[in-house]
Chain A
């Protein structure tokens, strides 16, 4: 019995880990800006394409760090160009702007790549094959959850114990007051996007090592599911996003294992509705207290 379930669990945890790395980006931006950054899934895709093109032009040990830098830069620029000018605009405007950026990025990638699927380069070690009991899989499957947990622990430490982390917490509590206390909110917000994009870049390397085809719209599904994970775990909560993502990854695979392959996506989104109806703040969401 265990032999039969193990491969599904492995796949589930690995996919969950990848969703988690994206979900953290969603949840951090939401926590601070109260903005759902719809372009996040496309930044994840862009990271995939950066790797495809960089790896073709230079050795991998140069390409990989460069991919991370380029992705972080992209996240930073998106925030500066599309979100910062709308800081004092109604929240709806900035959300529409995010949707606009998402489509812009998708179409840009479509234009640049000609819309054909590109093969992701083989990364050493994590693309290697390993056998665990009855299941044979890629190293990335096993490594992903470990890297995810390490990165998230590091992130939580950063937020709890550093000055910039303290500033982030302050900004997420109250925008104006934080500003009055002398916190440069623009640099704090930029930092949030930098961290989110960094995690998306790492996530994309792990994801595409397993699923080696990159297309302009490939980030849409993982992006949406990561968003569901962030809501499920309680948007704004980092550990919540990780646990939510893991649960979704595992559930998805278990549902496919039971034979309901057609409904595995439907399940994910039905879950979103159920969570919103019964526990609007998610598993670990902060309780909203009315300000007087």
Chain B
């Protein structure tokens, strides 16, 4: 009996392997994003941008043959341990290039797997410098945290803040990294900083907010996942705090808008892109097309948080996909090694601005958009743009 079972199982494995055999004219692009967990909401929006790009440009020509692009989407669950498994799934699926992830911690965890398998990855919205500097197979199309932290520190100073309270999540590379760069910049501008950390799974933030009050903080900088963010904002609202709360790109999300709506809490965040910025024609075209696509697909609209506000991460997802295709074209091959070799030379004028990589693998992005969450309309109001040059 056992022998029969073993035989059947073995046969099944052979058959499944056969089923997965490569189709000659398909190139697989891995989408390495969270669809659940603390950053699930944002990850879904980034995937939307990638899917939209794929719906516009579903094929790529290599040599003289036209290849169909197949997206292989995995869920890294916003957790560094799950991210490794998700990354391995992509590698064993035989993807040529990987896009993602939302969240720096998971990108760094997945990066090791991609490096080992020598599959190039393009980070769309992961901002921790370590993602690219610690991994030779990671490139990135957004700005990084030393810049973002400096931007927000300058902005906080301009708003008249002198004492900042920085709250970050222990063990979250994005949160602690951005908090550190903010603190560094804010202190070098002459401000004082009290920094504290919370652990994963914390729901009670009242003690932290009370600490901010007793430290005499006139601004709170709390880069964290959107799940923690909505708790922080909720509790800040019920405590009637009078200082503004600031954070990085993660907070540009419908989750934040829902939390802020109807309260008196001022929430600022920096981000990569503004949907109402008309100066870039590529961007305007993208925004119009993306909104139409969202409204035509109820499922996609739900994934976007139930409205058609274009998140910066969707724009980055779109650009990431386009850059990946450029790299495939430049490589003239679907092999990961050739794409990795071609990536450093790729340039692309995207929705979020011109993209060209430096020797570390980071795009030379030097503009951040600062936005304020409107407590009445439940939308983001554009405040200002800031470039490195402005900072002097």
Contacts and interface: CB of A to CB of B under 8 A. Distances in A.
A211 to B, nearest CB: 4
Contacts of A262: 170, 196-197, 199
A161 interface: no
Interface stretch (B185-193, B232-240, B321-329): B232-240
A135 interface: yes
Given A7-B206, A217-B201, A261 B238 contact: no
A11 B203 CA distance: 12
Contact of B238 (A116, A129, A207, A213): A129
A116 B75 CA distance: 12
Contacts of A4: 214
B248 to A, nearest CB: 19
Interface string B172-211: 0000000000000000000000001111011110111011
Contacts of B206: 7, 11, 137, 253
B258 A119 contact: yes
Interface string B240-274: 10000000000000010010000000000000000
B227 A261 contact: no
Contacts of A252: 207
Contact of B207 (A11, A129, A137, A218): A11
A116 B40 contact: yes
A213 B197 contact: no
Interface string A100-118: 0000000000100011110
B36 A110 contact: yes
Given A8-B210, A215-B227, A115 B37 contact: yes
Nearest to B75: A115
B201 A211 contact: no
Nearest to A110: B36
A11 B197 CA distance: 18
Interface string A246-257: 000000110011
B239 A211 contact: no
Given A7-B206, A211-B235, A114 B35 contact: yes
A176 interface: no
B38 interface: yes
A259 B210 CA distance: 11
B207 A220 contact: no
B230 A119 contact: yes
Nearest to B197: A262
A256 B41 contact: no
A212 interface: yes
A212 B234 CA distance: 7
A116 B238 CA distance: 24
Contacts of B37: 115
Contact of A213 (B35, B207, B211, B230): B230
Contacts of A117: 38, 40-41, 226-227, 230, 255
Contacts of B207: 8, 11, 252-253, 256-257, 261, 264
Contacts of B38: 117, 215
A136 B199 contact: no
Report, as a range, how many residues of chain B touch the other chain.
Answer: 35 or more
A115 B41 CA distance: 10
A138 interface: yes
A218 B201 contact: yes
Contacts of A212: 230-231, 234
B224 interface: no
A135 B214 CA distance: 12
Nearest to A115: B36
A221 interface: yes
A253 B211 CA distance: 10
B201 A114 contact: no
B77 interface: yes
A286 interface: no
A257 B238 contact: no
Contacts of B35: 114-115
Nearest to B201: A221
Contacts of B36: 110, 114-116
B41 A116 contact: yes
Contacts of B239: 7, 135-137
A122 to B, nearest CB: 10
B43 to A, nearest CB: 10
Given A114-B40, A211-B231, A261-B197, A218 B210 contact: no
Nearest to B209: A7
Contacts of A28: none
Contact of B210 (A7, A207, A215): A7
Contact of A11 (B170, B204, B226, B240): B204
A268 B45 CA distance: 38
29 contacts: A115-B36, A115-B37, A115-B40, A115-B77, A116-B41, A117-B40, A117-B227, A117-B255, A136-B238, A136-B239, A137-B238, A210-B204, A211-B203, A211-B235, A212-B230, A213-B231, A213-B234, A215-B38, A218-B203, A221-B202, A253-B204, A253-B207, A256-B207, A256-B208, A257-B207, A261-B196, A261-B198, A262-B170, A265-B199
Interface of B: 35-38, 40-41, 75, 77, 170, 196-199, 201-204, 206-208, 210-211, 213-214, 226-227, 230-231, 234-235, 238-240, 255, 258
The 5 A-B pairs with the shortest beta carbon distances in the complex, nearest first, are: A115-B36, A256-B207, A211-B203, A136-B240, A117-B227
Given A117-B227, A215-B227, 15 more contacts: A11-B206, A115-B37, A116-B41, A117-B41, A129-B240, A136-B239, A211-B231, A212-B231, A212-B234, A213-B234, A259-B196, A261-B196, A261-B207, A261-B208, A261-B211
